[in-house]
Structures are given as structure tokens and as C-alpha cells.
Amino acid sequence: MTKRDHKPSFPLDIEITPYSADIPINRLLLGVDNLRYDVRISPQFCRITGDFIFQLILKHANTSGPLQTRQNLNWYQETEHFKAACTEVMTDAINQAKSAAQVQIDYLAQVSLVKWLMAEMQRQYDAAIQHFKSVIRRHEVTYRVEHHLRLREEVFNIIQRRSQIIQHAGAELFDYFLEARAGLNELRTLNFGQDCLLAEELLANPLLHAPSRPDDFFMMTNYVLLGYRLEDPLNYHSLITILCNFFSAVDQQDEPDEIIKSAENINQLFNLFETRDLLAREKKKKKPDPDQVNTLKSRIRFQKQMLAMIYREFRHEQMLECIVAAYEVPRIIQNYCPPLSPQELLQYLVAPKSRKNIIRKIKRFRKYTGKSVSMARLKQTRRLVHVSREQKRVRIVRFLKDFAVYHRDLNNYYNINEKADSINLIEDKKTARLSRENNTLYEFMFPREHDTGKQTIINHVVIKADVRGSTEIIDHMKAKGLNPASNFALNFFDPINNLLPTYGAQKIFIEGDAAIMAIFEHEGLPEKWYGVARACGLSINMLMVVQRYNQRNIKKGLPRLDLGIGVSFAKGAPTFFYDNDNRIMISHSINEADILSGCNHELRKRFQITGPPFNVYLYQLDTSGIQGKTLLEKNASPILRYNVMGIELAPDALAKLAREIHMKRFEGPIPKLGVDHFVGYTGKFPTLSGNYQRLVIREAVIPEVSPTDFHTIRMTEKKYYEVCTHPGIYEHVKHL
């Protein structure tokens, strides 16, 4: 910053955020060499992907028929097969991370796949060249000389275009990989939370499939023309020094480099042109917001001052014309490259001393090739570099944003390479066995590659649906000469049976007007450790079945059917015994689910009159001084329970649910339901069909009430939990 510049005061609406993106894997176990992390990637994935990359190489090499290995290739089918393979391996990593409660296992898998894909691209290119040479050798004796020479020339050109072919094939490969990766972000979020996702730009980084040192054409395509040599007009290292000094002086930042990495920071600090557009749109409104107008005006004054300061800085460093010219070079490269490089074109446009040598190079090219190269377009472009001050300011903003993205990607590239160097991709069985026996091997496989065997039950969840009103319906239907058994089978039990596979549930038994189901979690299958979540999802859908059933009953003049559902959880396996071929399950969770699904008769009569907003309520009776017969009936608990078309979740089940998926707590009023205060938890889980389902759990405190008039005496410290089904609650959560 020059002496006449004054440090600008930042408007309140501008927030500068240092850029930070990392891939932490430091909590994982080091491998057998005590230096790196041992990783083994699915052999089936490697085979499928290797074949796919080989075909990508042939595609981007634009090979002729004799050099191809598979005619009439179905690219859609091939890409879907590759993406499915990526999805399977990464899903396995997510499940392992969930099982170990360690998200860094997922990070390790993603970096390992990136490392393997980058290395495999080089290997498959070399394999393709060997294939081409074999084809040429076969054609030496079986085809005409002319045909043989054409093939040799074609392969020679492919070898000359090595960097370009690998770059383009790598870009396409990573597009498919990133698509598969993004498809699993919802699964990652529901397991680990949104904050645990790796920053998208870490892996969506063009530099990952660039040549070892990005060439000028790559830079112009993805960023802006920069150089690394001292004579290059826009030298990367010089620019970093200039910008770091500038931001240190302006904002007194300890880490100005982290500010430069964010294009959004650049936008807020310098892009007065965008802010002017926002102000113009605001003023065109029928009723402009005066506060917004003043805010935008303040931002424009600040950005104008900042842009003027960086303008003077670049002018002092003689870079203004270089920045303008960097965006003119791509328009003329097809006319002058070859014989010139893009950097030489840039030098010709901005450095008069270099022009004589460049002109001589063009003349030599004419002499030796006989090709005509006109200087007219080059001279015309040189004049275009001398633009107005306003146009230069526009180019400066664009350049700073492009530079920020490149600087960020370059640092991320170094970061990923550093992490990749710390990973030992193991292929030989001996080393893999040694690492596995020492519990230091991370293996990311297809499900069918895991040695599962017979899995032990480690947890189980019980769902009990207590059917109410069935007796009245049966009597009513019999009185009309209808068959209640077939009615229940077709409209209730059969639809529920159809739901069980989607949630991995089993029907344990039917007892009269109640159905009991269970979900088992097995050792070594973390992808299925969503027992409580899936039990809640199944329960919600069971209530939807009953609601549809009731709609038909109302039209037919039949009584409605009500359910009360309880969901309980227990660690370990239940006890099984057999009655002939019938397996019978014994578990205290069945008793707990039975209690949760119950409903006090007196409470049901009371709530039929008041119509509460929720479906589950618990009350603790004040039993001090109870004499004679009260609401507390014989053998009843002092906890009275109302559960009509509701789902009560045991506290232990909620704790397990919080381990299964990432749950967010929220509280506040829900005006549409007339609820002044609501405390809830929400998250999503995957069904076995591949869909995601949202859950909302209501938390409420149990009040102590009088057994005579039922008024609240005090609020206890006990809580209960309801799995919500009201659409208004889910709509409320959606807008949070």
C-alpha cells in the first residue's frame, strides 16, 4: 500500500473469512511401517475401474478402429457401472466410519480413492501405449506399408499428446467420481452431520488431473494465464507477495494468505460493479428499503476505495496491462500457438523489448515450415490492451477472483498430495495379512467381498402396535353380514407386511389385536445399524396405513380403528426357543414396548373431548393421600399414558437413535398448531430401498397431576418422547 493510501474502515455488512479446508486423518492408526496408513481397496473395484480408465484413454486419444479394443462401446452403461462401483466402496467406508464412530475413516477412503485413480490413470496410459505397439507389430506383416505407417504416425501423435490426453481423461473420470461421491453426502450428513462433510473444492480440483506443472493452456482453461519464471509478466510468486503485503497493511491480518484463498472475500472487498447492480435493482422497487440502500451505498464507497488502492499497487508494479492482456491471449492462441507459447504472446502484448525476438521466431517458423503467420491479429490485440481505467478495474476484479481460486486449489492440491503420501495402498496379500493381523489395515470393499459368515445379533429393537377399537369394528361388520377377518387381512395386516422389507423388520407374532415386530442389528454389518431409526419410520408408515383404512371406514359407516405404538431398544440378542418349527422370542423390550403402546381408558375419554395437538401424553399421579377408587385402577402404574395414533419412543431407544444418525435439537413455538413451546430432535435415515426418511422426535416433561380433578401440581424431572407424525410439524422443521 502506497504512503498516500489510508486504511479503509470496513462496513458492518462485510465479513472477511479466512479460508480453511483440511482432511484430518490424524486420529487413525498408522500401518505396519509406523509411518503411513495401510489401505486396501476392493480388487473388484480396481479391476472395473482399470478397464474403464483404459477405455477413457482410448476415447480421449481419439484412436482409430485398429487401435480400439471394444467396438460400439455403450458409454452410458460403462459410466453408470463405474459410478456404482465408486458408490459401493465409499458406502462401505461410511459404514465402517459409523461403526467405529470415527468420520476420519471416510476421509481416508476418499483420499485413498483419489490417490489410486490418479496413479491408475498413468498406469492405464502406459498400458494403452503398449497395446498400440502390439497392434503395430501385428500389422507389420499382415497389412500394407501405407497402413502400417499411418498407425505408427497415429501412435506417435498420441505419445506427443500424453499430458493433454491424461488431463482430459482425468477430468472426465473425476466428474463421474465426484458425482458418485456427492450422491452419498446425504448419507454422510445423517450419520455425522453437515459440518463433517469435506469441502467440495478439495476433491473437485482441476489440478488433481493436470500435468505435474500446469501448462499455459490448462491455466487459461481453468483459471487465468500465470507463470512461474521471473521473466513471466504475471509471476505467481510475485503476485502472492504483493497481495499478502496489501492485505496485511489493509486489514492487519496475521494470515493474509488465508484471505486471498477465498473468491468470496475478493468479491466483498472489491466488486463494486456487482454492488452497483444490487443498488440499481433495489432502487427500481416500488418501495425501496432505505436501510438496504444506505448499506449498499456504504459498501460501494468502501469497495471503490479498496479497488483504487489495489489499482495503484498493480500500476506501481507495472502489472495493469498484463492483467488486461491475460484475458486477450486465449482469443488468439489458435492463430499463433505454435510457433509461440501463450507466455510469449503475453510478453509480446505488454513487453516491447521482447517483440523483436518473438518476431524473429515467427519468421523462422515461416521459413522452415512454409506456413504463413499474419501479424495483423497480434498487432490489433496489442492495441486492445490499452483500455479505459473503468475497463481495467473490471478486469482487476475478475483477475483477483480467478487468482484466488487458483491459489486455493493449488494449496488444496499440496494438502491432498501430502495426505496421499501418508497412505500406503497395499496390493500384495502378505503385507495385507500382516497389517490386518495387527488391526492396522483399512479395507474398503464391495459388500460381497467381506467375509461375513453367520452374523451375531448385537442389538434389537421391538415395535408393538396395539390395535384399539377392533372389537367394535368386528361386531359392527358381523351385524351387517360382512367378513371382518378378510377386511383386517386385506386392509391392515397385509399392507403392514409389505412395509417390513423396506425397514428390515420381522414380524414376531400377532396376539389378538396387537402386532409385535422386531429389527435385529448384526455384528459386522454397520450399514444396517439403523434399528431404532427404521423402527420409527416403519411405525410412521403403519399409522399412515391405518389412516387410509379409517378414511374408507368413515365412508362405509364403520367405526374407526386406532393404534398405539411403542418402540423399545435393548443391547445384545434376545432369547429364542422353538415350539416345533416356530421360533419364539423372549425379551424385556417386548414388555417395555407393550407399556409404551398402552393407553389409559379415562385419559382417552378426556382427550376425545379436548382434541390435543399431539398423540402421546404422559402424566404422573400424585399418589399421596389416594383413598378408594380413582383414576389409578387396580395394578396400574402411577404413570398414566395417552397414546392414540401415536408412537412413544423409550429413552434408551432415543439415545441409540442419536448414535445411529446425526440429530439436531430445536425448540420454539409452532403457531400453526397452537403450540407455544416445542422441544424436538430431527434427522434423516436411509431405508433399505435407498430412500431417505426424516424423523422428528418430540421431547416433553411429565407433569404430576391431581388424581381427583387432574390439574397440574408440578413438573417432574422425567421426560418422554414421541415420534411425530403431524404434517404441520414436518413443515415447520422444513422451514427452520
The pLDDT tens digits of the residues spanning 529-560 come to 899 999 999 999 999 988 888 888 788 777 77
Does residue 452 lie within any of the structural domains? no
pLDDT surpassing 80 at residue 141:
no
**Range of the structural domain that residue 344 is part of:** 336-384
Does residue 187 lie within any of the structural domains? yes
pLDDT surpassing 80 at residue 627:
no
CA distance 615 to 608: 11
Asked if 137 and 168 sit in the same domain, the reply is: yes
Across 326-335, 472-481, 622-631, 660-669, least confident range? 622-631
Return the pLDDT at 635.
40
Please provide the average confidence, as pLDDT, over all residues in the chain: 87
Contact 520, 457 (CB under 8 A): yes
Residues in the chain: 736
**CA 244, 246, 252: angle at the middle one, nearest 5?**
85
Asked if 408 and 486 sit in the same domain, the reply is: no
Return the pLDDT at 142.
62
Asked if 515 and 527 sit in the same domain, the reply is: yes
Average pLDDT over residues 73-89: 94
Helix (H, G, I), strand (E, B) or coil at 480: coil
pLDDT surpassing 50 at residue 500:
yes
Return the pLDDT at 3.
52
- Which of 204, 223, 243 marks a domain boundary? 204
Asked if 321 and 275 sit in the same domain, the reply is: yes
130-139 tens-digit pLDDT? 998 888 887 7
Does residue 404 lie within any of the structural domains? yes
Q: CA–CA distance from 19 to each of 30, 266, 307, 409, 467 (Å)?
A: 29, 12, 21, 11, 57
Across 3-7, 14-18, 192-196, 344-348, least confident range? 3-7
Across 87-96, 140-149, 205-214, 309-318, least confident range? 140-149
Confidence band for 454, pLDDT divided at 50, 70 and 90: low
Average pLDDT over residues 243-271: 85
CA distance 582 to 683: 37
pLDDT surpassing 80 at residue 188:
yes
Q: Which residues contact 683 (CB under 8 A, 6 or more apart)?
A: 190, 533, 657, 661, 662, 663, 664, 694, 695
Does residue 445 lie within any of the structural domains? no
Contact 653, 659 (CB under 8 A): no
Amino acid at 27: R
Most trustworthy range by pLDDT among 82-91, 256-265, 631-640: 82-91
Return the pLDDT at 512.
62
pLDDT surpassing 60 at residue 637:
no
Asked if 477 and 363 sit in the same domain, the reply is: no
pLDDT surpassing 50 at residue 300:
yes
Average pLDDT over residues 155-173: 91
Asked if 656 and 561 sit in the same domain, the reply is: yes
Q: Which residues pair with 701 in a beta bridge?
A: 719
Return the pLDDT at 643.
93
- Which of 422, 446, 472 marks a domain boundary? 422
Average pLDDT over residues 200-220: 87
Asked if 280 and 363 sit in the same domain, the reply is: no
Does residue 440 lie within any of the structural domains? no
Asked if 221 and 197 sit in the same domain, the reply is: no
More confident residue, 195 or 386: 195
407-433 tens-digit pLDDT? 999 999 999 999 999 999 999 888 888
Asked if 485 and 588 sit in the same domain, the reply is: yes
The percentage of residues in the chain with a pLDDT greater than 90, rounded to a whole number, is: 47
pLDDT surpassing 50 at residue 634:
no
Asked if 470 and 406 sit in the same domain, the reply is: no
Return the pLDDT at 257.
86
Return the pLDDT at 617.
94
Return the pLDDT at 682.
94
CA distance 82 to 403: 34
pLDDT surpassing 90 at residue 518:
yes
Across 115-124, 415-424, 573-582, 600-609, least confident range? 573-582
Does residue 572 lie within any of the structural domains? yes
Across 28-32, 136-140, 181-185, 615-619, least confident range? 136-140
pLDDT surpassing 90 at residue 626:
no
Which CATH number fits the domain that encloses residue 727? Answer: 3.30.70.1230
Across 3-17, 94-108, 193-207, 368-382, least confident range? 3-17
Tell me the pairing of strands 37-41 and 664-670: unpaired
pLDDT surpassing 70 at residue 1:
no
Does residue 146 lie within any of the structural domains? yes
Does residue 528 lie within any of the structural domains? yes
The percentage of residues in the chain with a pLDDT greater than 70, rounded to a whole number, is: 93
672-721 tens-digit pLDDT? 888 889 999 999 998 888 788 999 999 999 999 888 777 888 999 999 99
* Grid cell listed for 736: 427452520
- The number of folded domains in the chain is 4
Torsion sign over Cα 686, 689, 691, 694: negative
Asked if 401 and 484 sit in the same domain, the reply is: no
Q: Assign 3-class secondary structure to 660-726.
A: HCCCEEEEEEEHHHCEEEEEEEEEEEECCCCCEEEEEEEEEEEEEECCCCCCEEEEEEEEEEEECCC
pLDDT surpassing 60 at residue 628:
no
DSSP state, residue 233:
S
Return the pLDDT at 91.
94
Q: Taking Cα atoms as reference points, which of 232, 211, 231 lies closest to residue 221?
A: 211
Helix (H, G, I), strand (E, B) or coil at 423: strand
- Which of 153, 180, 204 marks a domain boundary? 204
Asked if 223 and 321 sit in the same domain, the reply is: yes
Q: Taking Cα atoms as reference points, which of 480, 482, 477, 531 lies closest to residue 503?
A: 531
Sheet containing strand 37-41, edge to edge, reads: 423-425, 37-41, 441-444
